[in-house]
Amino acid sequence: MKQEPNRLSPLFAMALFTLMIGCIFGLIMLASNLYSSLVQSQNQNNTIRAGLSYLSTSVHAADAENAISIRTGPQGDALVLTNNESGYETRIYLLNGQLVEELSPIGSDFLTDYAQPITEMQEFKPCFLSAQLLSIETSAGTVRIALQSSQEGAL
């Protein structure tokens, strides 16, 4: 007996092949979206950590007797890091949704036109918890910095 070839076999094989290709593309798209969201989250986390690390490093670099103070800035409190040897002070404050840094002569007015952006930030509130402990609350988190020198008028 001679068997006739089934006419549906090639169509069935083609449909199965198409289904497998569709599944593979679907998995590739899912993996691509997952990887993209992971990279975006990691970049956002790195930006947040970089801003807080920058603040901490700047304060530690300026840590000297009575070199760190808090003054009222253009849009809230400003962290002022004074270098008496050079006659200049670094001011870190919030300006239009950006954390900015400004280098100015000691005691001069704020010159917002010359401020350099550090990172995007919605909240910035430095405060002394004691004469040797500075806390900086930001929209990215809070950093507490232990100072080696004492700051006059810290409380």
For residue range 39-91, what is the model confidence (pLDDT) as tens digits?
A: 999 988 887 788 888 999 999 998 888 899 999 988 889 999 998 888 899 99
Sheet holding 133-138: strands in order across? 124-130, 133-138, 141-146
So what's the pLDDT on residue 88?
93
3-state secondary structure of 39: helix
CA distance 143 to 99: 15
Residue 123: burial class (beta carbons within 10 Å; 0-12, 13-18, 19+):
exposed
CA distance 124 to 93: 7
For residue range 116-133, what is the model confidence (pLDDT) as tens digits?
A: 999 888 899 999 998 889
Q: Give residue limits of the domains in the chain.
A: 43-146
User: pTM of the prediction?
Assistant: 0.72
CA distance 114 to 97: 16
For residue range 23-35, what is the model confidence (pLDDT) as tens digits?
A: 999 999 999 999 9
So what's the pLDDT on residue 4?
62
